[in-house]
Amino acid sequence: MQTLRVHISQRSLDELADDFGQPPIGSLRPTLGGADPVLFELGAAVLNKMQMFGGDDALFFDHLALAFQLHAAQTYGQLRAIDPLRGGLAPWQYRRATELMSARIAQGVTLAELAEACQLSVNYFARAFSRTAKMPAHKWLMNERIRQAKDLLLNMEMPAVEIAAACGFTDQSHFTRVFSQLEGKSPARWRRLRLCDWRQYRPGAQVGAAI
């Protein structure tokens, strides 16, 4: 049996409410003894992600943290219904966010850093980026990591372990698992096939959706 403990600070809940123009949440009022399928699925996503890919994907866990906070605030803190986001990021904000993620491909970046660069709150940035890019920031970053890894696989004589580090993966095993899941084959096999037929590879082409 696995257990996941989640800590949500009062400050984060109040900032979330303020983001939506609503009064502070106050204390949460959970239903004792009742099952919460949403929290269960969010917890399972955390555990599955850590078991499969490790715990170093800051953007992924930032997004999950926001999901935990929003569900808790709406279900147990009386946060009123939220109006759908009508707009996305301004062009300069989207450009700044994607440039920052690309520049920090090896080190990683947090939602807070991206939001600050765009002069937005974390919650608003996360929603606006998803609306503009049609995917969450953590998926955009994973796609970019795979795109850069493909370029290195074909254009430089680098071993997989060095490519993994250069593109922000935890280690070679992490790189191989993610790449294989998205591309349907290992990095080594992908490189062999593409080097045999350069016409199959178009640098900069969009990769499939990441986990």
pLDDT at 211: 37
Give 14-41 pLDDT, tens digit per residue.
788 887 778 777 777 776 667 788 878 8
Give 143-186 pLDDT, tens digit per residue.
999 999 999 998 767 888 999 999 998 889 889 988 998 899 99
pLDDT at 2: 65
pLDDT at 53: 56
Give 43-88 pLDDT, tens digit per residue.
887 777 776 656 667 888 888 888 888 888 888 877 777 766 778 8
The pTM for the full model equals: 0.75
pLDDT at 1: 57
pLDDT at 134: 94
Question: SS3 for the chain, per residue?
Answer: CCCCCCCCCHHHHHHHHHHCCCCCCCCCCCCCCCCCHHHHHHHHHHHHHHHHHCCCCHHHHHHHHHHHHHHHHHHHCCCCCCCCCCCCCCHHHHHHHHHHHHHCCCCCCCHHHHHHHCCCCHHHHHHHHHHHHCCCHHHHHHHHHHHHHHHHHHHCCCCHHHHHHHCCCCCHHHHHHHHHHHHCCCHHHHHHHHHHCHHHCCCCCCCCCCC
